[in-house]
Amino acid sequence: MRIDIVTIFPEFFGVLDVSLVGKARQSGLLDVRVHDLRDYTHDRHRTVDDTPYGGGAGMVMKPEPWGEALDAILAVADQTEPQDPGVSSVVIVPSPAGRPFTQKEARDLATVDHLVFACGRYEGIDQRVMDHAATRPGVEVREISLGDYVLNGGEVAAIAMIEAVGRLVPGMVGNPESLTEESHEDGLLEYPSYTKPSAWRGHEVPAILLGGNHGAIAAWRHDQQVERTRRVRPDLLPDQP
Ligand code: 6GU
């Protein structure tokens, strides 16, 4: 999978050298490239923002540098599969105004060959950048939010999405079973986990886990998932009280 990131803070993405994503990059499974938006400006001050039409607080990111950056990045994709009628690139714009990011979205994005993260700052990117990118053949634009809170820019959100998507790319996680047994994959939260010692600071591991009855353990774990989900995330359950 190829991932391009456009940002005015390339140094945020140093963390992508670490851990699972870092290993996947070294092995060639993930090809991640970070681009400085200011490299696509032409004025002496490398200006990327301006005041909003219609007034209001804050600054808006100018369309021209974004247009040139996406021209350069999406031209590569255009040449790779010129005859493919389907979507070849998905441009993700992290934004608190986007639709919510979910495990389902992560699974879907893990099947795409080329992801482009357009990280905005200030009050956002001129809307025409997204509208124009969506008119390009083979390009889909998705504005996506991490949740109902506000970050200063899309960088931290992009890193979270890259980790969530990257670990679902085939070959990334050593044991694929660990992908299906976790929170959100079956619509429930994960059951609690324990390891040795069986007694620690007066807290015992639940006896059922020590008995070796695999059917009973599976049933107990499912009950724990349902109980935990009801307690902390009742909105995830089909019939809410
Ligand atoms: Cl994806 N971006 C920004 N800037 N703020 C957010 C967000 C994204 N998700 C929640 N807050």
> Structure tokens of 36?
């400085």
What is the reported pTM?
Answer: 0.92
For residues 202 and 192, give the distance between their C-alpha atoms in angstroms, rounded to a whole number.
Answer: 18
Ligand 1 in reach of 157 Cβ (< 6 A):
yes
User: What is the pLDDT at residue 98?
Assistant: 96
Ligand 1 in reach of 153 Cβ (< 6 A):
yes
Centre of ligand 1 from the C-alpha of residue 117, in Å: 13
Say which residue the tokens 């004025």 belong to.
43
Q: What per-residue string of b and e applies to 44-77 under the rule 16 or more CB within 10 Å gives b?
A: eeeebbeeeeeeeeeebbbbebbbebbeebbeeb
What is the residue-level pLDDT of the chain in tens, covering all 241 positions? 999 999 999 999 999 998 888 998 999 999 999 999 999 999 999 999 999 999 999 999 999 999 999 999 998 655 555 455 677 999 999 999 999 999 999 999 999 999 999 999 878 999 999 999 999 999 999 999 999 999 999 999 999 999 999 999 988 866 677 777 778 878 999 999 999 999 999 999 999 999 999 999 999 999 999 999 999 999 999 976 5
Say which residue the tokens 């990117």 belong to.
125
Q: Which of 183, 76, 184, 181 is nearest to 138 (CA)?
A: 76
For residues 99 and 145, give the distance between their C-alpha atoms in angstroms, rounded to a whole number.
Answer: 6
For residues 9 and 151, give the distance between their C-alpha atoms in angstroms, rounded to a whole number.
Answer: 14
What are the residues whose beta carbons fall under 8 Å from the beta carbon of 216, sequence distance 6 or more? 208
Ligand 1 in reach of 154 Cβ (< 6 A):
yes
User: How far, rounded to the nearest angstrom, does the alpha carbon of residue 222 sit from its chain's CA centroid?
Assistant: 28
User: What is the pLDDT at residue 176?
Assistant: 73
For 138, how many CA atoms within 13 A lie in the half-sphere containing its CB? 19
> Structure tokens of 5?
């990131």
Q: Which of 99, 160, 151 is nearest to 123 (CA)?
A: 151
Start-to-end Cα distance in the chain: 43
Centre of ligand 1 from the C-alpha of residue 214, in Å: 42
Of ligand 1's listed atoms, the one at least distance from the Cα of 152 is: 4
Ligand 1 in reach of 24 Cβ (< 6 A):
no
Residue 88 phi/psi, 5-degree rounding, is -105, -25
User: What is the pLDDT at residue 19?
Assistant: 87
Ligand 1 in reach of 159 Cβ (< 6 A):
no
User: How far, rounded to the nearest angstrom, does the alpha carbon of residue 225 sit from its chain's CA centroid?
Assistant: 25
Best residue for ligand 1 mutational test, from 8, 92, 141, 145 (most atoms within 8 Å of Cβ): 145
Best residue for ligand 1 mutational test, from 122, 146, 148, 165 (most atoms within 8 Å of Cβ): 146
Q: Which of 149, 193, 185 is nearest to 164 (CA)?
A: 185
